[in-house]
Every structure is written in C-alpha cells, then in structure tokens.
Amino acid sequence: MLAIIFPGQGSQKKGMGDALFDSFPEITAAADDILGYSIKELCLNDPDSLLAQTDYTQPALYTVNALMWMQYHSSIMSHDTQNVLPDFMAGHSLGEYNALFVAGVFDFKTGLRLVKERGRLMSQARGGAMAAVIGFPEDKIQHLLDVNNFTNLSMANYNSPLQIVLSGPAGDIEKAEPIFKAAGVQHFRRLNVSAAFHSPYMKNAAETFASFAEKFRFEAPRIPVISNVTAAPYRKEDVKSLLAAQIISPVRWTETIQYLTAQGVADFREIGPGKVLAGLVRRIRTESPEKQKTAPAPSPAAKIEFFHSQTKSTQGMITPENLGSRAFREEYNLKYAYLAGAMFRGIAGKELVIAMGKAGMMGHLGTGGMELSQIESQLIDIQSELKEKPFGVNLLHHYYRPDAEEKLVDLYLKYGISYVEAAAYMQMSPALVRYRLTGLRREADGRIIAAHRVMGKLSRPEVAEAFLSPAPEPIVHKLLEQGKITREQAELSRRMPMADIICAEADSGGHTDGASAYAIFPALGRLRDEMMQKYGYEKQIFLGAAGGIGSPESAAAAFVLGADFILTGSINQCTAEAQTSDLVKDMLQQINVQDTDYAPAGDMFETGAKVQVLKKGVFFPARANKLYELYRQYDSIEQIDENTKKRLQEKYFKRNFNEIWDETKSFFLSRDPEQIKIAEKNPKHKMALIFRWYFGYSARVAIEGAESEKLNFQVHTGPALGAFNQWVKGSPLENWRSRHVSKIGEYLMHETAVLLNRRFAEMRSE
C-alpha cells in the first residue's frame, strides 16, 4: 500500500520549483493573483530575503508542493492507469494542506487562501521559540520538564520516537538547553522560528483562523487523510475544527506513521523539496520497532467504501457515532449517545435544548425553580423549533410540595411531553407514577407500549431498585380509584419498570451524594440485570453515566465501564447557551478541579442533603454551612447569640430578619400557605424558612449577575468543569463565548474516540 506524504515549514529552499512554474502557468498565475506578488520570483530568486519568513514560507511551500504533486501525478497517469490514487495521504504541519488538496477536500485556490491567512496569523506571534531535542524519548523529556518546573514548555512535534520538538517562551527554551545537555541529550538545536508554533501560545491565531475558515466549504476526503492533531483519518465535519486546532496542537507524526504502517502501508513517497520526511519515516520504523503495529490491508471493496462514503470511518475504528449503545441511539433517534442534563431555574433553557436537538444529541430543560408559565412558554418554543427531534424535560421531586409536582405532570401531559428526567427522587411519587402510566397500552401484536418514558437520575442502589421495579401497587390502586388511569393501565403497570433508563450519577454539581463512578456504575449495572431477569421485562433498560465527565479520559472511562450513553452537566453551564450571567461564566471559566465545595441544599435544607457549588471567589459554601450548623444547634432564631445574629443580618443577608420573614411569608402564602401555619406554631421551622430564603436569594443574584453580591453567589458546579477548563486551555474553546453545547458534545465524543483508538492500539502492541 502507498501513502503520499508532504513536508512542512523547514523544507523550503531557494530555487525550489524551478521549471514547474512554467509547466503549470495557470496555477502559477492563480497563485500570483491571490498572493499579490510573483511566486516564481520569490521561490527561485528570493531577492528581498523573504522566503524564510513564515507569512511567505507557507504559501510558497504549499504552492511548490502542489506543483510537484501535479507533476508526479501526470507522470503516474501516463505510465500506470490502474494505480493512480494512493491509499492514504498525510502531511507534516503545513504539508497537511497539500494532502487535503490532493484528497479533494478543497481546490488549490481555497487551500492557498487558507495557507496565506495561516501564515499571516502565525507570523504575528512573537516571543516564542522552538528547539529540537534529539536522542531522548518522550517520557524522559517530560521528566526533565517536570522536575525543572518548565510548565510553560510543551512538546510541539513528535517527529520520531527520539526526535521531539519543544515549544514555548524563548527564555524558557534558553534555560532548558544547558539542563538537557547536562542530562546527556545528543542534540538540543534551536529552530529558526519567531514564535512557539503548535503550542497553546498560538491560541489567538487559532481562534482568528477558525473564524476565517468558516467562510469556506469543504468536501469529504476522496482519499483518507491522516490528521496531525488526532493521528486518525479526517472526516468532512471535522475539517474546520481540526485545521484550527492544528495551529495549537502538537504534530503527531510518529503516531501518524505508526497508524499508516498498521494499515499495511509499506511505501511512503515524499513529495516536496528535499527529503526531510523520508528520514523521519526510517527513524520511526527503526527507533521503536516494538511499537510498530501490524494490521491486514483493507480489501479493494473496503477502499472503495472509504473513498465514496462521507460518513463511515476506517474499518474497525471507534468513531464518535458508535460510542455507547446503538440500540439507545436508534430508539431515541440520536446521532451521538450524548445527553446534556437539566440545570435548575432554566439555566439549561430552550436555547441549550434546541442546540442539542439540532445537532443529533438530547438536552433537558431545567424546570426546577421556574414558574409554570415560564416552563410552558419554553416548551412551546422548543417544540416549535425541534418538531420531531428528541428532547427531555426535568421532573424534579418536590419534597415539601407534592401539589407542585402534580401541576408539572399536568403541564407535561397537556403538551405531550414524552420523555422526562426524573431527579431527586428517593421513592416513587403519585405524580411520577401517573405520568408513567398515562397512555400505557398493549399493541395488537402483544407488545406493551409506554407513551411516556422516564430516565431515573440517581446514585443509590435502593433508589435504582425503585425505578427498576414496577409502579408501587398502593399508588397504582389509588390512581385507579381516582380515575386518573384505566384498569388496563393498572394491569399493564405490573409488566413495566418505572424507568426506561437509569443514569448513574457520580459526584457532580448540584445535588450529589458524592458517589464514585468506578464503584456505583458496576453495582447499578448488575442490579439492572438482576431486576430485568426478576421481572422478565421485554425491553432492555438502558444505563447511562453522569457526574465528573469533563474530558475525553473521563468519557472514555464511562464507555469502557459499559455506559449506553453519557450525560454532562457542569461543563454546559459555562457555554454561550446557558441562561446564567456572563459574570458567573467568567468565574466558572477560571476554575480548576479543586475549586468546588459542598453546601446544604436549599430545597431540602432541614434534611441535610448536599449540593456541590463553586467555592473559588465566593463565600456561599461557608455561609450556607454555617446556617445549617445554627439550625441544628438552636430551636429558634431568638436563641442565637446577638453577635451571630448581627453578622447574619449585616454580612450574609444584608437585611434584617423581619424583612426576610415578610418576603418569605408573602412567597409561601401564594404557593404553600401550610408552611406559614406550621412556622407560626414552630419557631424552629420559621428559622428554617428564613434561612432557606438565603438559598433562593443567592441563586437568583448569581443568575442575574449582581456584581455587588458576588460573594453570595450560589453556583452549582462540579470538578468536571475544572477538568474541562484544563483540557481546552490554549484552544479556541478556552473562552466560554466560543463554547457551544453542541460543539462541546461533538468535540468531546470525537476526542474520546481518538483516545480509545490510541489506547487500544497501544495495548494490542504490548
């Protein structure tokens, strides 16, 4: 099998191209027109010594590589009409544009316009440097970087197992040189570049280039092209994102050649001035023979399938589309086994749900804390936009107000909501059972069909068992007596679990039991299988994973554990679609994995239930925990010492207890007057209601972005967002304004597939 490979910056030389410019006058004229100068004069004579400058080097090298390919292709066609196309294409950095051009992703002119802008943007970066380290493997280089605290240096080019290029600030490159030489490296050679290419320091260039690339249309590769970023084949839908990511990502040339070798490629032909890559290929194949993988060559039919399909991946590869359960994707009509969970008070609002649905994923409307009229308005808009595309709605268990839960179910039934995310349930409620059983029927062929599907979001086996069991008989009997369900539905309820899906929620933002995914998921998986066997259910109950998913590694772990799908939460709160304040998003964008804490849950304050919230830059966790401590210690506000009461009113609440009670009383009289009756007889309950006021207030001012109340912000989030922030640092997704929920989902699934392919390949090679 044959792979054509194109070199990148560094292979240019004066005189390159020679007679080719006259042999292909139309291409030469087109290049002159786009660039605004004579490409022939630059390459052959370089009168102003510009050829070594990035913004001139890149267009020149792209053009010469393209001309050399045209010459090579013409020669092959004249001698061998049976083997015109290579089996694979690849290019080192800039050379990847030539590979994409040859594969038909874009034409020559489009490629040159892209390269011209790429060179311009990269030439504007200053203050960085690069150095080739020859003779040390990756792990030894990383060790030297770690022990010497070179946190600003990163590996930019994996040219061969023993030739790796470092990139970063010029001062750090200079300091590293004597350290590496003292450690015994063969060569530490500074490169003649003006910036830290292929590193996070190029993020501004990458972001601007990403916007520029949006103007162009790209086709599916007619020949597989291996990406520098992923060391895996390009897909049509990834072209724009990968070209932008390439500017800040390392060139994985070693993995590229190893991948091609695994596919059966034995013939690597370099097309370009000089033979830079040919030497690297030889080194890759000799420096680490134990890592070389073998794989049978694809059949001719498989090659044709690849060339002519825009959606199918290389045979045997894990793709973003085949992660998780195929049955789950088909039943819910999804492109990806990826869901975005609900976030209360409409933070996961209609914008988020619509964006997810249109991208082939599923979002959930966060209805907790919203008025019925607001929920109704958002449901109308979502249904209008998504038509038949799937979406979910949160059904939150109302611990104190079962009537509120009943009204939610009334609304969902009115608008034909066919799928809910049931959260915060400890046991099945009449409202949830009514929703599940309404519309339950048996088809003529004997199949039992549920009109309303339920996903139980949970973290405890006893709660899972309740969702995996049929509806409780006492509740079913009462609903039947009340005429809310039919006798047939009551009878069929014995054959159906309460949930079609259970989602194992590990430690997460918001309500959490702090469970470990590695412990809870296998336990719930076994319980699911046992309950299906016990009751003889006809349909598979799907099991998903949520909590802590903010990077490809965590998503990969979930799928390896056996998740039918993954559900993300915290990472979606810091996106353009999330309906919270820009100030909160600015704060969330800065957090790391250690910047969260646990606090009492305002809606379940008296029970001691916990939520996980933002800790960095706010006092809310400490103040909320103090309130719960006081609630447990005293039986009324009057028993609290005067200094503490003063601090609560002046620092925490910024108003006195009487004002808070008046506001609280007004709120409950319109919704749940029984609470006021209880409070007037029970001082401890009155204290609880006053303290609960703080939780509603702190959440509201955060969503509104009231900067004067920043210290009191209650922001539900978990460590997954910190992990996500670290993963996308230096990329176009670093700024939350560029984060879109659908793009995050697609990117996370894509990188998870790449990671799993790489890890499984490594294991097979051991």
Domains located in the chain, CATH noted = 2-123+201-308 (3.40.366.10), 128-196 (3.30.70.250), 321-580+735-749 (3.20.20.70), 595-714 (no CATH)
Q: CA of 710: how far to CAs of 136, 598, 608, 699, in Å?
A: 49, 18, 25, 11
Q: Are 51 and 43 in contact (CB under 8 A)?
A: yes
Q: Are 67 and 24 in contact (CB under 8 A)?
A: yes
Strand (E) or helix (H) holding 545: strand 542-546
pLDDT tens profile 19-60: 899 999 999 999 999 999 999 999 999 998 999 899 999 999
Query: What does the alpha-carbon distance between residue 150 and residue 142 come to, in Å, rounded to a whole number?
Result: 9
List all residues 6 or more positions away from 748 whose beta carbon is below 8 Å from its beta carbon.
Answer: 338, 551, 552, 555, 568
State residue 581's pLDDT score: 97
pLDDT exceeds 70 at position 321: yes
Does the active-site annotation cover 198? yes
State residue 224's pLDDT score: 94
Query: What does the alpha-carbon distance between residue 73 and residue 64 come to, in Å, rounded to a whole number?
Result: 14
- Residue 4 has φ and ψ, to the nearest 5°, of -95, 130
Q: Where are the alpha helices (DSSP H) in 148-299?
A: 170-182, 203-213, 239-248, 253-262, 276-287
Q: Are 597 and 371 in contact (CB under 8 A)?
A: no
State residue 293's pLDDT score: 38
Q: Are 541 and 528 in contact (CB under 8 A)?
A: yes
Does the active-site annotation cover 93? yes
Query: Strands 510-511 and 610-614: what pairing?
Result: antiparallel
Residue with tokens 């060391």: 231
Beta bridge partners of 566: 338, 545
Of the listed ranges 237-241, 391-395, 479-483, the least confidently predicted one is 237-241
pLDDT exceeds 70 at position 353: yes
Three-class secondary structure of residue 533 per DSSP: helix
Closest CA to 131 of 95, 168, 91: 168
pLDDT exceeds 80 at position 732: no
Query: What does the alpha-carbon distance between residue 31 and residue 37 come to, in Å, rounded to a whole number?
Result: 8
The pair of three-digit structure tokens given for residue 363, joined into one six-digit string: 């979002």
Query: What does the alpha-carbon distance between residue 597 and residue 614 come to, in Å, rounded to a whole number?
Result: 6
State residue 313's pLDDT score: 34
What's the rounded mean pLDDT across residues 189-200? Answer: 88
List all residues 6 or more positions away from 683 whose beta carbon is below 8 Å from its beta carbon.
Answer: 635, 636, 637, 638
Per-residue pLDDT band for 538 (boundaries 50, 70, 90) equals confident
Catalytic residue among 11, 93, 160, 325: 93
Average pLDDT score, the chain: 90
The pair of three-digit structure tokens given for residue 188, joined into one six-digit string: 């530490």
Angle at 592 between CA 587 and CA 594, to 5 degrees: 115
State residue 590's pLDDT score: 96
Q: Which amino acid is at 449?
A: I
Query: What does the alpha-carbon distance between residue 569 and residue 550 come to, in Å, rounded to a whole number?
Result: 9
State residue 312's pLDDT score: 34
Per-residue pLDDT band for 79 (boundaries 50, 70, 90) equals low
pLDDT tens profile 630-685: 999 999 999 999 999 999 999 999 999 999 999 999 998 988 899 999 999 999 99
Query: What does the alpha-carbon distance between residue 40 and residue 8 come to, in Å, rounded to a whole number?
Result: 19
State residue 303's pLDDT score: 30
The DSSP code sequence of 252-264 is: -HHHHHHHHHHTT
State residue 81's pLDDT score: 44
Per-residue pLDDT band for 766 (boundaries 50, 70, 90) equals low
Catalytic residue among 198, 364, 511, 716: 198
Instruction: Determine the number of helices (DSSP H) and then strands (DSSP E) in the chain.
Output: 32, 21
Beta bridge partners of 91: 6
Q: Are 402 and 396 in contact (CB under 8 A)?
A: no
Of the listed ranges 167-176, 292-301, 588-597, 740-749, the least confidently predicted one is 292-301
The DSSP code sequence of 304-372 is: HHHHH-SS--STT---GGGSS-HHHHHHTT-SSSEEE---TTTTS-HHHHHHHHHTTSEEEE--TT--H
Counting residues of the chain whose pLDDT is more than 70, the rounded percentage is 94
Three-class secondary structure of residue 38 per DSSP: coil
Q: Are 552 and 320 in contact (CB under 8 A)?
A: no
Strand (E) or helix (H) holding 568: strand 565-568
